[in-house]
Amino acid sequence: MSTMKTTRDVKGVGISIPRPDGPEKVTGRVQYVADIQPKGLLHAKLLRSPHAHAKIVSIDTSAAKALPGVRAVITAKDIPHLKKKAPTRAHAVLAIDRVVFMGQPVAAVAADEPSIAEEALDLIKVEYQVLAASIDPLKAMLPGAPPVADAGTEADTSEALAHSAVAIAKSDTPAKAVNISQQARLQRGDPAEGFAQSDHILEKTYRVPMVHQGYLEPHAVLAEWDRNGLLTLWASTQGSFNTRSEVADVLGIPENSIRVIPVECGGGFGGKIRALCEPITAVLAQVTKRPVRYVMTRREELQAGMPAPQVIIKLKTGVKRDGTLMALDAETVIDSGAYSGAVLAVSAVFLGSMYKWPAFDIRGFEVLTHKPSVAAYRAPVAPQTIFAIESQMEQIARDLDLDSVEFRMRHLIQEGDPMVNGQPWQNNGAKQVLSRIAEHPHWKTRKQWVAAGKDGKRRGVGLALGGWLGGLQPTGATVRLNPDGSLAVLTGQVDIAGTNIALAQIAASAYGVDTDLVRITTGDTDVAPMTGLSAGSKTIYTVGAAVLQAAEDARRQTFEIAAKELEASIHDLELVDGKVTVRGMPDKGITLATIGKKGNLYMSKTPPVLGKANPAFSQQAPGFAAQLARLELDPDTGEVTLHDFVVVQDVGKAINPIGVEGQMQGGAVQSLGMALTEGLIFDDSGRLTNPSLLDYRKLTAADLPNLETIIVEVPAPAGPFGARGVGEPPIIPAPAAIANALQDATGLRLTELPLHPERIALALANGAAKAP
């Protein structure tokens, strides 16, 4: 069934409609996990390792257990089925005999009050034998480095598959160094020959530190068991079915004995995909036979959350004097922390696939270190990768005195061109967004604007392009006709981005009623059709298609009933203003309410209308964004003032423009933080040196200008009404755009994020960026 549709003449797709949960959110009435107050609630706290790598010699919990108000104190010994070779972070519920990162949970307490639980933590005595730690990923790769994983632990690529639906061939050579958990190599042509024929060779190493997703609501979960052994989890999650599967696997219990209720998610951005504190909270609830809630503190989030990985990318490019691309050599090292799970493939694909390199050798390594393990962060590894390749492209253009847009445009891929993994690029709007930003007055007038700088300030304008392949996952939806003619749509998809209102608009346009007649519900794992993560920019693309098809199914059923009632051919019917009529005979009709009522009448022979669809997908829809920054720099202090920021994005079809703009603005600001201020800084012993929001600096309203958003619509052939994924592309180009603008302002190529005042001032003082 095709999902590319023209919208019907109803208030549906393409109209800006504010989210219906707005009034509940502005009054503080929406409940998050920490707001739920069940009777008999206990509070959980975790004792965490003070060392990055240590052997656990002994744990004494007796004093903690004796504290009044403490209901349970458990260690790994109390969870007999824990596996020593934890395949994922979630499986390492509590450390067994070794801790592998600072902040790793060692013991857990449930108590009547949070303060009692905290006091109990102080009474637990743990004796550690500190071991040498691998902190720097480049050193961790070397033979003889202190090992992180227990021997035999396998690479975890589930997130890569869930997120980007991109696969690359695994390298034939097995990992030799102890801490290399994944590696891949992609080659085409003869890079050595390409470099030999190049007039311009540029070698740079780009570095991006670990950054935190920064959701305002810390991880939180509430767990309770009933007397039949059914576990209910109220979770802040991006995917309730994934949470159920992970918890079932970790606890060794059937999926059917777990019900996950997705509670309003106070921000996820990839950080709430994988289970983190759900298993331990479930165990505490089982032991105490009481509801138990665990809410992470912000300090715990920063020290022991699941941040985005540190990424180091070494690039060597060779081009002819006229800008002809000849060869690319790239090596990406992704620091995955203590457990495997980084999305290695994205880096390889975007380093080598955005522009048409005739010869390349791209190598990627996932390295384990004694640091918190990583997870996805909105377009995982894409902003870091684009920072490297878009900085490099800009530098080449400047070195060769080429127009930086024309240079990019000349080599930019289009539909059908092969990616580095040999797969063809799907239909996309890369060229359209790049031309659109090049037409922007800020770009056309950049020389005048830069020249108008005064008071010793230096001005710069920069742009960058970036993309995302678009995720895929099977899903399902139902559309029910109510007895009053309204529609009830049910999915299991967690709404973390305003997707529910857009899905309602899709149902409205596909069925043929106004959106205000559609109510959409996100069901829990007991009642909803199975569905995947709200991640990878795939909710509207995939769940939207399911809703569209289910709404068409419901429309077909409605028309079948109407045809029988009206004694007319189904082909002669139309739906106008809530009434199915015979075309050309507006008096001969039946209202949706009548059809809906007939489906719920005692002794009625009319079936209730229940549209359903459960599609599986094969075609991806890449989404591209181009961004432009105009900034001013104080050369004495290194302080950057962002004057303007423009986001151009191809969204295929903006189902709900106001929601799309919100995604474009929010995504851009997250990566402006990555560009300018954010970074988790670890010392040599693996201790996080900035574990608070005072020291881990996120951008505030006062740091930013108004963001300009420009929506481009290049319809995706398989997308609902042509829509593409929206969430990820806007976070991708900003760091490169900022670095390129800073080069415009200073002449310096800065290759390490974040570009905070100290780094910029030092680079200016040294006269050149020292990093090769």
Task: Please identify which residue in 12, 191, 218, 466 interacts with other proteins, judged by CB under 8 A.
Answer: 218
Nearer Cβ to other proteins, position 180 or 506? 506
Smallest separation (angstroms) from other proteins to the CB of 75? 26
**Minimal distance, residue 267 CB to other proteins, in Å:** 4
Rounded distance, CA 266 to CA 103, Å? 23
Note whether 68 binds other proteins by CB under 8 A: no
Paired strand residues for 187: 361
DSSP 417: -
- Residue 150 within binding range of other proteins, rule CB under 8 A: no
d(CA 640, CA 758): 11
Q: Is residue 576 part of the contact set for other proteins (CB under 8 A)?
A: no
Shortest reach from residue 220's CB to other proteins, in Å: 10
Cα–Cα nearest to 319, from 406, 412, 216, 191: 191
Taking CB under 8 A as the criterion, the residue among 67, 253, 570, 693 binding other proteins is 693
666 near other proteins (CB under 8 A): yes
Under a CB-based contact definition with an 8 Å cutoff, are residues 562 and 520 in contact?
no
Q: Does 6 bind other proteins (CB under 8 A)?
A: no
- Rule CB under 8 A: say whether 195 interacts with other proteins: no
Q: Which of 658, 690, 713, 756 binds other proteins (CB under 8 A)?
A: 658
Cα-based torsion angle of the residue sequence 194, 200, 205, 208 in order, rounded to the nearest 10 degrees: -100
Distances (CA, A) of 544 to 161, 288, 554, 687: 20, 42, 15, 44
CA 621-627-630 angle, to 5 degrees, is 175
Which stretch, 11-19, 85-93, 358-366, 456-464, contacts other proteins (CB under 8 A)? Answer: 11-19
Question: Is residue 25 near other proteins by the rule CB under 8 A?
Answer: yes
Quick note: the x/- pattern for other proteins over 699-728, rule CB under 8 A, is -xxxxx-xx---------------------
Site string for other proteins, 487-516 (x = CB under 8 A): ---------xxx------------------
Judged by CB under 8 A, does residue 627 bind other proteins?
no
Residue of 516, 469, 455, 520 lying closest to 493 (CA atoms): 520
Taking the complex as a whole, how short is the minimal distance between the CB of residue 130 and other proteins, in angstroms?
Answer: 29
Smaller CB distance to other proteins: residue 368 or 496? 496
Q: Quick one: 340 or 670, whose CB is closer to other proteins? A: 670
Residue nearer to other proteins on the CB measure, 115 or 569: 115
Name residues contacting other proteins, limited to 290-309 (CB under 8 A): 295, 297-299
CB 659 within 8 A of CB 497: yes
Residue 43: CB minimum distance to other proteins, A:
10
Question: Binding to other proteins by residue 643, rule CB under 8 A?
Answer: no
Start-end of H helices in 365-498: 382-399, 404-411, 430-438, 441-444, 446-451
Q: Which is nearer to other proteins, 21 or 572 (CB)?
A: 21
Residue 594 or 677 with smaller CB distance to other proteins: 677
Residue recorded with tokens 């800020």? 442
Part of the chain binding other proteins (CB under 8 A), chosen from 17-25, 85-93, 395-403, 712-720: 17-25
The one among 4, 7, 14, 34 contacting other proteins by CB under 8 A: 34
Segment 443-451 long-range contacts (CB within 8 Å, at least 24 positions apart): 443/405, 443/628, 446/630, 446/744, 449/630, 450/744, 450/745
Q: State yes or no: residue 49 binds other proteins (CB under 8 A).
A: no
Question: Which one, 54 or 699, has the nearer CB to other proteins?
Answer: 699
CB of 214 to other proteins, least distance (A): 5
Q: Kindly tell me which of 669 and 760 has the beta carbon lying closer to other proteins.
A: 669
**Does residue 690 belong to the site contacting other proteins (CB under 8 A)?**
no
Which of 5, 8, 30, 363 forms a contact with other proteins (CB under 8 A)? 30
Sheet holding 258-262, edge to edge: 70-75, 105-111, 42-48, 292-295, 220-225, 231-235, 258-262
Residues 6+ apart with CB under 8 A from 580: 558, 559, 562, 566, 573, 574, 589, 590, 591, 592, 595
d(CA 457, CA 28): 44
CA distance 42 to 294: 9
Identify the three-state secondary structure at position 3: coil
**Which of 453, 662, 715, 747 contacts other proteins by CB under 8 A?**
662
Counting contacts by CB under 8 A, is residue 214 touching other proteins? yes
Quote the least distance from Cβ 98 to other proteins, whole Å: 30
The answer to whether 513 and 578 are in contact (CB under 8 A) is: yes
211 contacts: CB under 8 Å, gap ≥ 6: 307, 308, 377, 673, 674, 678, 679, 680
The Cα–Cα gap between 459 and 450 comes to 5
Span of 30-38, 82-90, 123-131, 249-257 interacting with other proteins by CB under 8 A:
30-38
Applying CB under 8 A, which of residues 136, 156, 159, 217 lies at the interface with other proteins?
217
Report in angstroms how near the CB of residue 376 gets to other proteins at its nearest: 15
Cα separation, 675 vs 231, whole angstroms: 42
Interacting positions 313-352 with other proteins (CB under 8 A) = none
By the rule CB under 8 A, 603 interacts with other proteins: no
Q: Minimum distance from CB of 305 to other proteins (Å)?
A: 13
Which two tokens mark 760? Answer: 């910029």
Q: How far is the CB of 85 from other proteins (least distance, A)?
A: 35
Q: What's 169's DSSP letter?
A: P
Label the pairing between strands 707-712 and 573-576: unpaired
Running DSSP on this structure, what letter comes out for residue 650?
Answer: E
**Residue of 686, 664, 679, 654 whose CA lies nearest to 733:** 664
Enumerate residues 99-138 that contact other proteins by CB under 8 A.
115
Which of 143, 144, 264 has the alpha carbon at shortest distance from 215?
A: 264
The only residue of 57, 66, 132, 216 in contact with other proteins, by rule CB under 8 A: 216
The amino acid present at 717, given as its one-letter code, is P
Q: Does 14 bind other proteins (CB under 8 A)?
A: no
161 binds other proteins, rule: CB under 8 A? no
Binding test (CB under 8 A) with other proteins, winner from 101, 206, 215, 350: 215
- Of positions 1, 26, 151, 603, contacts other proteins by CB under 8 A: 26
Contact flag: residue 29 with other proteins (CB under 8 A): yes
Binding residue (CB under 8 A) for other proteins from 128, 269, 365, 511: 269
Four-residue CA torsion sign, 331, 337, 340, 341: negative
Strand partners, 75: 107
Strands 42-48 and 292-295: parallel
Using CB under 8 A, count the residues that bind other proteins.
Answer: 58
- State yes or no: residue 754 binds other proteins (CB under 8 A): no
Nearer to other proteins, 156 or 301 (CB): 301
Q: How far is the CB of 710 from other proteins (least distance, A)?
A: 13
Nearest approach in angstroms of CB 126 to other proteins is 24
Residue 257: both structure tokens together: 């004995």
Closest of 514, 508, 473 to residue 494, by C-alpha: 473
Token pair recorded at residue 169:
């061939």
> Cβ 470 to other proteins, closest distance in Å?
21
747 binds other proteins (CB under 8 A): no
Residue number with CB closer to other proteins (62 or 115): 115
Residues that bind other proteins (CB under 8 A): 16, 18-19, 21-23, 25-32, 34-35, 37, 115, 213-218, 264-269, 295, 297-299, 496-498, 658-659, 661-662, 665-670, 692-694, 698, 700-704, 706-707
